[in-house]
Amino acid sequence: MTTLTSHYKDEIFETVFENAYHCFVVVDEDGIVTYMNKSYCRFLEMDKQEVIGKHVTNVIENTRMHIVVQTGKEEIADLQYIRGNHMIANRIPVRSNGNVVGAVGTVLYRDTKEWMLMNSHIKDLLLEIEHYRNQLKEQHGITYSLHDIAGSSKQMSDLKEKIKKVSPGDVSILLRGESGTGKELFAHSIHHLSERNTKPFVKVNCAAIPEHLIESELFGYKEGAFTGAKRGGKLGKFQLADGGTLFLDEIGDMPLSAQVKILRVLQEGEIESIGSETPQKIDVRIIAATNQPLEELMETQRFREDLFYRINVVQLFIPPLRERPDDIRLISKFILHKVRKRTGKRIMDIDSAAMSQLTHYSWPGNIRELENVIESAIHLTNQERISVDDLPDRLRSQINTVKQTGNLKEILENAEKAAIQYAIEKAKGNKEAAMKTLGIKKSSLYEKLKKYGIS
């Protein structure tokens, strides 16, 4: 067989890839675009020179190419929403000597009446599904699912796998993590994946209920149980969650008197409303969450040891944002899309300099703080891309002032300490104002002040 000439090879490549109806893209092991054919560039309305060398998340909407590189798992016939169209995408990892060195992606795109008809049909079906999902959310209080949790780092991937394993059962789960890490979102996801997902999901903020009202809030009361009792009585959170999931948020702030009552319910599986003479059987799954060191609270008799072991059958730790900087880019894009959709502002992207600032900041307020920063930037910018000038002062100044020596943990702690000091200085010593600037709760701020010796 005659060896193909270089010119002939180029012609074949040009015919098969460059002039095809399919869209082709290739990324390297870091998720950087190394090739994109003409069809894809035309569809994205971008020049090839503009695309090559950029991270794929900065080029393709809702892409998963970088995730395929990380996992090494191919994704075939996946539905992907790009520029107002539903596309069918294939993503295949490329290996060399057993190692993943990149990925190839193809997207089916034909500008024909048949394709547009199919795309319209898909949109109609998705809208119908969304309608039924929203009805279910309104009925049972389910707001989030595991798909709503942005993050592809190893820590988050491992956490999601654990959640998939423990969700189907009835085991009690304790979610631990700093303020702003998204514990409620994970609680929703566990309920969504459980066999109780058609039953109610009820949240109780243990820190927000006054101690003298907590019994009536949790267990309800009968008509005439006390002066001012509502006519017909009132169902408590346990009755409302019967058959479903009860989420006890900030359980470390629950008064001891309430802890005793909660423990009795968990042990006996029944409650007694105020004014009632007969107990009522209750079937609820408990998911608790805290950002406090419960072990230390137990040592000082501020949290019951027996209750701790009841709720701590499976413990899941949600890592802070500073420990998974690889997720910052993905989460930022996710938040940008969500806020853009809600506000209607045409902010399409975050420029590379601003993204660099975001990825190097320590985020003491975690995802809640990141969301505040991006939403603020969206409202402040007059451009289609968020720039460094649209970010808060604390992010712009920190990179130049933080000590960049030591191991990663020390650098991150230095950055967090600098952010807190800067917020307090800017607030002229007003810790309440600094707390709001950082987007963290009072207990979390004072815990960090103690940790870093900041007065």
Write down the pLDDT at residue 373. 93
Domains of the chain, by residue range, sit at 11-111, 146-317, 323-397, 408-452
* Identical topology for domains 11-111 and 323-397: no
Torsion of CA 140, 144, 147, 152, to 10 degrees: -150
CATH level 3 topology of 323-397: Helicase, Ruva Protein; domain 3 (1.10.8)
Task: For residues 38 and 51, give the distance between their C-alpha atoms in angstroms, rounded to a whole number.
Answer: 11
Task: From the options 3.40.50.620, 3.40.1280.10, 1.10.3660.10, 3.40.50.300, give the CATH code of 146-317.
Answer: 3.40.50.300
Class of domain 11-111: alpha beta
Nearest Cα residue to 360 out of 392, 401, 390, 322: 322
Write down the pLDDT at residue 16. 60
Q: What is the pLDDT along the chain (455 residues), one digit of tens a residue?
A: 445 555 555 555 555 666 556 788 999 999 999 999 888 888 888 888 889 999 998 888 888 999 999 989 998 888 777 776 667 889 999 998 889 999 999 887 544 444 555 566 666 666 666 655 565 555 555 566 777 788 878 888 899 999 999 998 889 999 999 988 989 999 999 998 888 888 899 999 988 888 788 888 888 887 666 666 667 678 889 999 999 999 999 999 888 888 888 888 888 888 888 877 788 899 999 999 999 999 999 999 999 999 999 999 999 999 999 888 889 988 998 899 888 888 888 888 898 888 888 888 889 899 999 999 999 999 888 888 898 889 888 786 654 444 455 666 777 777 777 778 777 766 767 888 888 778 788 888 888 888 877 76
